[in-house]
Amino acid sequence: MNPVLTKRSGLWQQVIARPQGALALGLLGFLYLCALFAPLLAPYGPGDQDLQKPYHPPTGFTWTQDGLAVRLYENADPTQALYRPIPGKTATIHWFPAGHPYRLFGLLPCRRHLFGVEPPQKIYLLGSDSTGRDVFSRLLYGAQVSLSIGLIGISISLGVGLIAGGLAGYFGGWFDSLVMRTTELLMAIPGLYLLLALRGAFASQFGSGEVYLLIVVILSFLGWSGAARVIRGLTLSLRAQTFVEAAIVTGLSPWRILWRHLLPNLASYLLVAAALSIPGYILGEAALSFLGIGIQEPSASWGLMLAQAQEMKVFMCNFWWLLSPGAAVFVTVAAFNLLGDTLRDVIDPHFRTSDR
């Protein structure tokens, strides 16, 4: 018998012991830390415009006697957004300069940023967009939305799936029929259509925070049915196990049996399902925002930033830095899938995807 099934203490050690697991956890840890400390790491706010510098390319670095510095650029041809570095002109990078005020973790009032240059000069690590906003800063603020939406969404949908599927599997009867027919109904409607219909059914005059919540709710509403079906199946097979009969004979109430005997045995599945489903939420948010019905300007999210990169101009003039949110989505989704696969390998050796 696999010891992990019976003892959970060593689970994360086992994941880290595998190269894929360590890589995935490391990447995700890095990304979530970046999102958490976004206001500190970003030199500018997500809405700070500079209409003099649209489509500014990523700034180059150089050494001066004052230390690390960035080159300064002049706008050679505003019609094509052609920038040329000005020879000999640089701006020294300052560490922890005072900038626009913000609240770290939403609580601590703070003015310092990790790095910056003397205004009115600007540092664009990943260039600027059509209104001269810093893509790097927006990427960090966008990570807050894009990365948290997966965690919140999966908590809601797995929570609902666990309650609906668990009760359906344990008690059976009419409740079981009701839950299963509902999930079938949800699954029979094409996902993207349902997404658009639900979003359209709610008024568009929501604020940015409300839209964020609305998207989470819509995505969870679509996502719980799959989880509920699997959890129902697992509960059915667990319910037939003798130790559940023993618990009934002992006199435990159904709720106690569900909580103490079934839930711990479902935990490993839930963990794997969560890791493998989070990318769906990140991609779902990106899709909604890309279509213009998700996160609204001036807030930032990766999908919204990609939506701005779909203009023909971006491809004609090769503003490749505007595609960096796509790379961020790709890395995040790949890391979550890698983590999910590794967790599954550790928890359930029967479903190994590879030999190692």
- Per CB under 8 A, the list member of 11, 252, 331, 334 interacting with another protein is 252
Q: Which is nearer to another protein, 156 or 238 (CB)?
A: 238
Question: Long-range contacts for 2-6 (Cβ within 8 Å, ≥24 apart)?
Answer: 2/347, 2/348, 2/349, 4/268, 4/346, 4/347, 5/268, 5/347
Q: Which is nearer to another protein, 134 or 176 (CB)?
A: 176
CB of 262 to another protein, least distance (A): 9
The structure tokens listed for 208 are 């940015």
Give yes or no for residue 22 binding another protein (CB under 8 A).
Answer: no
CB of 3 to another protein, least distance (A): 7
Give yes or no for residue 9 binding another protein (CB under 8 A).
Answer: no
Give yes or no for residue 5 binding another protein (CB under 8 A).
Answer: yes
Count, residues in the chain: 356
Give yes or no for residue 253 binding another protein (CB under 8 A).
Answer: yes
What's the Rg (C-alpha) of the chain? Answer: 25
The structure tokens listed for 199 are 């979003």
Q: Which is nearer to another protein, 88 or 173 (CB)?
A: 173
Q: Which is nearer to another protein, 106 or 251 (CB)?
A: 251
Neighbours of 207 (CB within 10 A): 10
For 10, list phi and psi in degrees, rounded to 5.
-90, 10
Q: What is the maximal distance between C-alpha atoms in the chain? A: 85
Q: Where are the alpha helices (DSSP H) in the chain?
A: 3-6, 11-17, 19-36, 38-41, 135-171, 173-188, 191-201, 208-239, 242-250, 254-256, 263-290, 302-308, 312-316, 324-347
Q: Which is nearer to another protein, 5 or 86 (CB)?
A: 5
Q: How far is CA 209 from CA 160, 215, 283, in A?
A: 23, 10, 19
Residues from 60 through 79 that contact another protein (CB under 8 A): none
CA–CA dist 124, 227 (Å, integer):
43
CB of 264 to another protein, least distance (A): 4
Instruction: Please choose, out of 3-11, 99-107, 213-221, 317-325, the segment that lies near another protein by the rule CB under 8 A.
Output: 3-11
CA–CA dist 303, 165 (Å, integer):
32
CB of 5 to another protein, least distance (A): 6
Q: Which is nearer to another protein, 107 or 249 (CB)?
A: 249
Q: Which is nearer to another protein, 156 or 346 (CB)?
A: 346
Neighbours of 350 (CB within 10 A): 6
CB of 2 to another protein, least distance (A): 9
Residues from 191 through 250 that contact another protein (CB under 8 A): 241-243, 245-250
Q: Which is nearer to another protein, 3 or 87 (CB)?
A: 3
Residues from 140 through 179 that contact another protein (CB under 8 A): 177
CA–CA dist 188, 180 (Å, integer):
12
- Per CB under 8 A, the list member of 113, 232, 261, 344 interacting with another protein is 261
Q: Residues 6 or more apart from 178 whose CB is under 8 A from it?
A: 168
Give the number of residues in contact with another protein, rule: CB under 8 A.
22
Q: Which is nearer to another protein, 272 or 328 (CB)?
A: 272
Give yes or no for residue 350 binding another protein (CB under 8 A).
Answer: no
Instruction: Please choose, out of 1-9, 28-36, 99-107, 201-209, the segment that lies near another protein by the rule CB under 8 A.
Output: 1-9
Instruction: Please choose, out of 55-63, 80-88, 142-150, 260-268, the segment that lies near another protein by the rule CB under 8 A.
Output: 260-268
Q: Residues 6 or more apart from 345 whose CB is under 8 A from it?
A: 18, 351, 352, 353, 354
Q: Which is nearer to another protein, 1 or 316 (CB)?
A: 1
Half-sphere exposure of 86 (CA within 13 A, CB side): 10
CB of 226 to another protein, least distance (A): 23
List of residues contacting another protein (CB under 8 A): 1, 3, 5-7, 177, 241-243, 245-253, 260-261, 264-265
